[in-house]
């Protein structure tokens, strides 16, 4: 299997979850599990739009480039590292992530499906901390979005 997935019930309405994705200053506060810092985020939430981040891990900066393939406000995001802005191909693509959001009263059912090109890539991603890291980041997202209410 080359897919990894998570489902969360986040304690904020989806318009606030979307806002935390759409505004770079908010995304920087939750996108990576602490103590990792997102120090730069460039986001253009539209198909072909840029999704570039720089994170700091143990004092070392790491750049990640990608683009959005789909962006339906407050419903669905699809992004990848296979392409940069304007669908420019990138070297060594690793994944496509599909995020869906659905209302549940004043909360959000939030699902993530991450597709990899091979089972080995999915296993490497899981061993690198996918479940733990993404779970922590999504907890941070929920807390931040709830604080905006």
Domain containing residue 136: 3-147
CATH number at residue 134: 3.30.530.20
Burial environment of residue 121 by CB neighbours within 10 A (0 to 12, 13 to 18, 19 or more): middle
List pLDDT tens digits, range 134-148. Answer: 999 999 999 999 999
Pairing of strands 3-10, 67-72: unpaired
Number of domains in the chain: 1
> What single DSSP character describes residue 87?
G
List pLDDT tens digits, range 29-38. Answer: 999 999 999 9
**What is the pTM (predicted TM-score) of this model?**
0.94
CA separation for the pair 103, 96 (Å, rounded): 24
């Amino acid at each position: 299997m080359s897919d990894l997935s998570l489902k969360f019930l986040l304690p904020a309405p989806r318009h606030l979850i979307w806002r935390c994705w759409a505004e770079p200053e908010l995304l920087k506060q939750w996108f990576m599990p602490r103590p990792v810092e997102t120090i730069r985020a460039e986001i253009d939430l539209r198909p072909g739009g840029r999704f570039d981040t720089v994170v700091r891990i143990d004092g070392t900066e790491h750049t990640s480039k990608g683009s959005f393939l789909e962006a339906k406000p407050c419903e669905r995001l699809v992004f990848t590292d296979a392409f940069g802005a304007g669908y420019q191909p990138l070297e060594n693509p690793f994944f496509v992530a599909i995020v869906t959001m659905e209302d549940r009263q004043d909360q959000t059912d939030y699902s993530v499906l991450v597709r990899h090109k091979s089972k080995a890539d999915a296993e490497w991603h899981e061993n690198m901390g996918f479940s733990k890291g993404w779970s922590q980041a999504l907890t941070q997202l929920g807390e931040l979005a709830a604080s905006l209410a």
